[in-house]
Structures are given as C-alpha cells and as structure tokens.
Amino acid sequence: MKNILLRFLPKFSSSKQNPEMIRSLFSKFQIILDMNTKLLEKMAVMERALGGEYIFDKAFLESSVSEANQLVYQVIYSLNTLTENRYSDLFDRFQIIKTYLEDILSGGLGPYSGRLTLPYPSIRLEMWPLTGFFSASLAEFGQHLGLQAPDGFVITTTGIRSFLQNNNLDHKIKEIADSLSADKLQNENALLTDIVNNSDIPKELEQAILDEVIKLSDRIGKNTLLAVRIDKVEQEASNQFIDIFDVAPSDILNAFKQCIARYIVKEAESLLQQISEKEISIAVAVYEMIQSKISGTVLTLDPAHSPLQAAGVAVNINNSFHESNEVKEKEEFFSVQRFYPFEPVESKILQKEATKRLPDDKHSLSIMDSGHRRGSSLLRKDNIISIVETAMAVERALGKPQKVFWSQKMSGQIVITQVKPLSSLLYDDISENDSIDDLNKQLEKATVLLAGGETAQMGVATGRLVHVAQDYSYKVFPLGAIAVADKASPNLSPILRRAAGLITETGSSVGHLASIAREVHVPSIVGASGALELLKEGMIVTLDAGECKVYHGIIEPLVRYGSSGMELYPTDPEYITLRQLLRWIIPLNLTDPDSPDFNSTNCQTFHDIIHFSHEMAVEELLNIQTRHKELRGIETRRLKLNIPIDIRVLDIGNGVVNLAAKELNTDDISSLPFKAFLKGLASNEMFDQQPGSIGLREILSGMDKTYTALNTPPEYAGQNLAIIAQNYINLTLRLGYHFNVINAYLSENPNKNFIYYRFVGGFAYMDRRIRRAKFITSILENMDFKVTVTTDLVIGKLKIIDRKYMELALKSLGELTAFSRQLDVKMESEKDVEDFIRLFTKRSKNIFLANRIKEQDQACSK
C-alpha cells in the first residue's frame, strides 16, 4: 500500500537558494496545521455527539469518518512532502486504522472481530455484541470504572462459531431438535453426553482458552475457582444463562463443552436459526467465583416506594443465613435514599433467634462500638450504604435505573455480580401515561436555581451540592453528590468517578473534563457562570444537564423519567458504533515527544498520527535553517533596529508590508508573532549595552574559544535570520557563542498556536552557563512553558494558547533574548539566578510573571 501511495507523492525539490522552496515547505506546514485543526474540531463534534447533545444518524457517522480519513491522509502527505518522505510508514498506520473504521461502520468490531477470546481488561461496554452484555458490563465496571466486579475472560461469538463449525454441529443440532421434540426427557442426558464426548475444540481456540486461563490465574490467584456461563448476546441484558459453577481452572475445556452442550439441548431450534443466518449470538463468560458471605440485589429506583427517592436493597436470606425452617420469606428489604448521605427510609427485617450468628459474626444482642446493641438486621448501615453507592455508580454509567446483583466478599468488599436494566419496569414510553403533564406542571412550580452553561453530558441527577476547589481530594468527595467547581479543570477528573453530577462556572463542552464526563456518563453542565454563588453547599437539587438547569429539591417526575429516551444510552446501537469509532480516532497515546516510543509505528489512533505529524513538522521547521545550509546564501533584507543586533528577514507570505524596500523598519513588519517578539527585544530596559564583568575564569575559558574563533567561525556564527509569514516566525539568532531559535505560530485559533524556544551555549564557563539555563527555565516555566534542560540546552514548548496570552509570551521572549544575551558571564553564584529572575520580572512588567513570583513568595512565607 505504502508504495502505491508513495508514487503519488511529489518529488522533493532541493533547489538551492530558492525562497520558493521555503515558501512551499511552509505552505505544507500550514496545511498540516489547518488539517490538524479541522480534525480536532471534527473529533470534538463526534465526541460531543456521544454526550447526547446532538441528534445524529448513521449518515453522520459515515460522513464524519470519511472526512477524518481525508484530513489525516492530507496531514501525512504534507508531512512527507515537508520531510523528503521520512515518515512514509505513517501511510501504513493510516491504512490499518482506516480499515478498522470501515469495518466498524459496516457493523463489525474492528480488530476485535477476529478474536476467539478476550480478557476482561481489554473489554469495554460497547463490545457486548462480541462478548455478551454480562461480561461487557462486569468488565466495564470492574476494569475501567473503579468498582469491584469479578475478573475473567470471554470466549467470543467468533470463538463459538469456530467451535460449532469445527464439529459440524449444525447437522447434529438438527437431529437434536427433532429427537427432543419426540421424547424430551429421555433423550436429554444421552445427547449431552454425546456432544461432550464427540466434539473437539479447534486447536487454535483451545490454545486461546488455555492462555487466557493462565493469564487470569496470574491476575486472581491460581486456586480461585471459576464459573462458566453462556451469555446470549442481546442488547442490554439477557435473562437466559446457563451456568456451571466451581470449575477448577484445569477443567475449563470440559466445562466449556458441557455448557455449550446444555445450550444446544435447551435451545436447539434457536441455534439452528443462528447458524442458518450466520449470526451466532452466544458468548461464553469464564469468570472468578466470588466467595461471599451475603448477597442480594438492589433496584436503584424502587418503584414500590413513593416519592421516588429510594433505592431498594434486597438481601437474600437463604444464601447467607441458614434459618429457612423458621423464616417463611426469603429476603430482607431496605429502602435507602438514592443520594448522599443515603439515609435509610424504611426497612423490613425478619425475625431471628437472638443467639444466631449474623453475617458479621455478631449476635443481634452484641454490644457494638457505638455502645448500642447490634440488632437483627442482616446488613449493617455501612454495608447498606456501600451497596447503594456502588449500585448508583452503575446506574450513572448506564444512564438508566438498574437492578444490580451484589455479593459481599469475606473481606467485606461489595462486588457487582450482574446488572440488568430496569427500563422494562419503569422507563418505557412516557407517552403511555399522563405523567408528562404532571412533569410540566411540577417544573412550572419548581424553583430554578441556575439556568445556563453548556451541556457536557445529558442526563438527570439528584443529590447534595458539594463545592470543590481545584486541589480538593477526590477521596473525600461523597459518592453520589453533585460537584460545583469554578474551572472545568482536568484535576477534577477523579471526582467525576464519584459524583452524580457536575456543574462548573467556566470551561467548554469540548474541554478535557467534559470528555471525561461523557466517558463516565455523568450529567454535567460547564460554563454556567455564577454557579458557586447560586448553588449553595449542602443544598439538595435536581440537575437536568440536557436543559442546562438546576432545580431546588427533588423534582420527582423528572427523576422518574430522567431524559426519558431523548438521551443517547450506552446500549443504543448508534452509541456503540460511535464509541467504537472514537476508540480509534480520539485517544492520544503518544504524549511525550522526548520518549523513544514517540515514533510513527506506535501511532494507534488518528489523534496519534496528527499529533505526531504536527510535532515532526514543527521539528522540521525548527531545524530548517540548520538543515538547509543553502539558506545562508539566500537573498534577505536587513531589519533596522535601535539595538546592535543584525537580523535578516526572509518573508515567505505576508510577513512584511513594504515589499520593495531593501531595508526594513519595524513598522514594515506585519508578521504577528515577529511583531510581538520585536516589542520585547527592542525594549530599552532589557537590552543592556554594558558588557558583563568577565572574571579570570571566563577569560581562560573564553581564550580557548577566542583562539578557535580566530581560526574557524564560532560554533554558532552566522547570520541572524527571521523567516516570517503573517502568522509565523522562525527566528534563529546566532550570537557567536549562543544559539537561540524561536519557532512560533500565532493566529486567532488557539488550537493552531504554539511557541517552541531553544537556547544553548554561551561564552562563560559551564557552571555559569548552567545558571543562565536555570534562569531561562524559571522564566519559561513561570509563563507555563513545558521545559526540558540538558546542561546548558533549554527547550521550552507552549501549545494551545489564546492569541492575547501568546502575544504577551512572545514579547517576554523578546525581552528574555535581550536580557539574557550576556547574562552567563554575570552568573557568579546561585543567588544571582534568583536575583536576575526578580530583576527581569520587575523590568518586564509582565503581570503574569509578577503574579507568579508573588505566589511563590507567599508560598515561601507560609
């Protein structure tokens, strides 16, 4: 594929001394920037669609993928033109991802479709068509959302198909269907034995299962018994399971065959249909057995309890408390508030003998730490709260009320063992009753505490408001409360895993925190100004994120009907397709350009490809003056400055207004980033024209250099060249003993903007140069640059910045260049570093820097 694509790549022209070449390279760079921005915008729309804000259809998904394909292709093409095809292997990565996306659009599961088995850590909720909903949900909660659920693996629908095909079971199943209808009971056992004894697991599948068993044993312990379950692949949850419990890991292949055999006997006709339609809809879950002391279920919205504020916890008494002769009923019930602090509302506790041991090994008359007697309830209050907290987290993740099956491990931990939506009981078509009028009447009467902001994730939540500062510890955030914060900062991400809802005063629905809210499906509004003032700590509210409203108190019909179907649920086919597509488009795995893994072969998503391409393109431009030596002879114009630095200018597109002039004044410069930089560079206060005091060591150190300089040009000798366009600057300053590059793009679109700054060298002895590097590092870091330092080489990067701040930063870089010009020789001690930081900040009048120093001083005085 790569070779075919390469044929279409234009041959790189290395014609010397031709500003057109630079213009052409720059235009490719601009294409990369433009396409990069467009793809980021496209990604934002696709990602926002996941939050339920948009109504979309399959055509939208198809056109989005098609546009994304074109944009990524153009980025790769342009990068290769810019770099003489150094990154042609990106075409291969692109082709692979494109194939996955096309497969997903046509109903497949991308690279997973062919997998015979899949371990829970690799499974996400949207993969249920391959794994069954039982495993997909346990994997999502246990492996990705931080809840407790059994670990395991799945023999996928693909694995089951290979087993059935290998054994020609369709003929046998036909016979079974016929014989069963003749004499069901008599034939069943014989048939089961026949299937188990006479069927073979294909070698490849057998190996895959055994490998998974070994890996699972490594994760959960070698002696843990397993359960094997047939899971019918249905949207949401199946009611039909066939289970074999307490299976030793060594007996897994036999248990698998037993399970399939039972299914064949039970569902011969359905299976025949699946085979004829080539649509196998069963998967097999193999998961760890939970040794529990007590178990039961929770309805996250108890329909029997009005008002609808309660979750109903049922405890299975037979499983835990062997008193069945005396107790007629099989369950104890607890109704509990659905939100923090999950106060008990009502309970139905069965009578027990006072001397019987309860699940926590106490008696009902035991004296507890509180000084009170324990009572005969099977569950203690803290257990009930943990169970409801867990169940509510499940409801939030799935967007609808659920029936959650739970077990309490011997260690006391609450484990989810199965989930099942309650929609069939409660949430079906709201048009079937009059409650919509009731809802509207109640909403008219309700007090709206806040209206405004943007929906990040649709949904309705009720709960207690908790104000969170940026440094708030997520560990103390009450589960199920609604968080209110000033900024939509990524620092709040862990809180989203505990919150029922989120409201922030600033931020946008395309921000990182909004993405996390969609990932965990927590109803959220961002950019709601005045939220902290209007929404008081401790208030109980109802949040309708789709409507961007917060109501005082609990609006029962709103809670009951939530967004009642207008949301996009994680189980909707469109959601599943979009989610799967996004897994190959949005995640950014290559984040650190300095890591050895930052290379084209590790690009796993479109985001990786465009981010990698952007970094490589900037790197290429950064080095353009050193890589293309012929630029030294290129025709440039001198820039007249009021300071003794000679800068030559090469305009590659609307960087200057006076096209004819042989010499340029600063007024002739129209390049936005260069103008901002020059403002700082030419500042009188910064450009100290007095030579620095040179000590004996510098003279000795410099003597060598001076001698060398006399014979060969200094290391960084050469002209100072600014390659400029309206939005771009690549400035290389070679001041003899240090080498300074500023590479920046400045536009109205923050996503395109960046500054790369590089500084190395000096005249003074190495320790003084290192001190100057420390000084530069501190100034850059105070301006939010990401800085890396290697001895006297300082590299600073600033990305995704708005125009105003970027102009300020560029002006300060100009000042920094002027100020630090001969600073190395003045850096006699470590104290000088600190003193010069303060002097620079004072002279710079950069308010941002001044505030940072003030903050640091305040922190020190504390």
Q: Which residues bind another protein (CB under 8 A)?
A: 45, 49, 52-60, 63, 429-431, 434, 436-437, 439-440, 455, 546, 561, 563-568, 572-574
**Through-space distance between the first and last CA atoms of the chain, rounded to whole angstroms:** 63
The minimum distance between CB 460 and another protein, in angstroms, equals 11
Q: Are residues 766 and 772 in contact, defined by beta-carbon separation less than 8 angstroms?
A: no
Compute the least distance from the CB of residue 234 to another protein, in Å. 17
Q: Smaller CB distance to another protein: residue 48 or 115?
A: 48
Residue 64 or 156 with smaller CB distance to another protein: 64
| Euclidean distance between CA atoms 643 and 552, whole angstroms | 64
Instruction: Please say which residue, 53 or 807, places its beta carbon nearer to another protein.
Output: 53
141: left (phi over 0), alpha (psi -120 to 50) or beta: alpha
Give the whole-angstrom CA distance, residue 468 versus residue 584: 33
Least gap, CB of 450 to another protein (angstroms): 16
Alpha-carbon 38 to chain mean position: 20
Nearer to another protein, 454 or 668 (CB): 454
Q: How far is the CB of 326 from another protein (least distance, A)?
A: 49
Contact 281, 272 (CB under 8 A): no
Q: Output the six-digit token pair for 86.
A: 């150094």
Q: How far is the CB of 126 from another protein (least distance, A)?
A: 15
| Shortest Cβ 241–another protein spacing (Å) | 28
502 three-state secondary structure? strand
CA distance 107 to 279: 12
* Amino acid found at 411: S
Q: Which is nearer to another protein, 52 or 249 (CB)?
A: 52
Q: What span, in angstroms and rounded, lies between the C-alpha atoms of 751 and 38?
A: 10
**Which amino acid makes up residue 224?**
T
| Least distance between another protein and beta carbon 97 (Å) | 23
- Tell me if the bond preceding 19 is cis, omega within 30° of 0: no
CB of 456 to another protein, least distance (A): 13
- Of the two residues 325 and 424, which places its CB atom closer to another protein in the complex? 424
Residue closer to another protein by CB (options 508, 604) is 508
Judged by CB, which is closer to another protein: 341, or 573? 573
Q: Which residues pair with 298 in a beta bridge?
A: 313, 404
- CB nearer to another protein: give 574 or 715: 574
Query: In the structure encoding, which two tokens stand for residue 647, read together?
Result: 């800068």
Return the residue matching tokens 């260069």.
Answer: 674
Select 544 or 807, whichever has its Cβ closest to another protein: 544
Distance (Å, whole) CA 91 – CA 84: 14
Residue 259 CB, shortest distance to another protein, in Å, is 34
Give the 3-state secondary structure of residue 552. Answer: strand
Closest distance of CB 575 from another protein, Å: 9
Backbone angles phi, psi at 444, to 5 degrees: -65, -35
Cα–Cα distance measured from residue 507 to residue 525, given in angstroms and rounded to the nearest whole number: 9
List Cα–Cα distances, 815 to 168, 578, 681, 686, 844, in angstroms. Answer: 79, 48, 5, 6, 7
Find, among 801, 766, 782, the residue nearest to 841 by Cα. Answer: 782
Whether omega for the bond prior to residue 673 falls within 30 degrees of 0, making it cis, is no
